[in-house]
Copies of this chain bind each other. A is one copy, B any other.
Amino acid sequence: MKTTLTKRMTFCAGHRLFNPGFSDEKNREVFGDCANPGGHGHNYVLEVTVSGEIDKDTGMIINLKEMKKIIENEIISKVDHRNLNIDVDFMKGVIPTTENFAQKIWAILDKSFEGKLLNKVVLWESENNRIEFSR
């Protein structure tokens, strides 16, 4: 039986999808309006799930305040109200699709929860599409 705790947080960011190795036509064909040079942005929803034993003294897998602080420090503070193509170190040289963005978030958070296991990262770009990384 698996027990998990999930925290949902939100942020907004700007991005533009294009591959500098592609021609303008190819970028337009692959990325459509997401390749518009001025860029655009989204209200992202991030769900982070950890698994672990329930501590007998606290009744918690992990303290939600601590979990919120980790996600805030490691991710939200670095991407909220930022441009993913320009302002975010861990996205340098990466096409900021939801897939690539979620993969980077997974890689960072996977080292952050001492004694707990990162179980799932879900990143919603809009109410109609999302990426999931999970064990």
Chain A interface (Cβ < 8 Å from any Cβ of B): 1-10, 12-15, 17, 19, 21-22, 30-34, 36, 38-43, 49, 54, 57-61, 63-65, 80-83, 85-87, 94-100, 103, 106, 126-135
Residue of B with least CB distance to A53: B99
CB of A98 to closest CB in B, whole Å: 8
Identical chains in the assembly = 6
Evaluate contact between A1 and B87: CB separation under 8 angstroms: no
9 tightest A-B CB contacts, nearest first: A41-B41, A38-B83, A33-B81, A59-B97, A59-B95, A38-B86, A14-B40, A14-B41, A43-B43
Evaluate contact between A3 and B131: CB separation under 8 angstroms: yes
A5→B63 CA distance, assembly (Å): 30
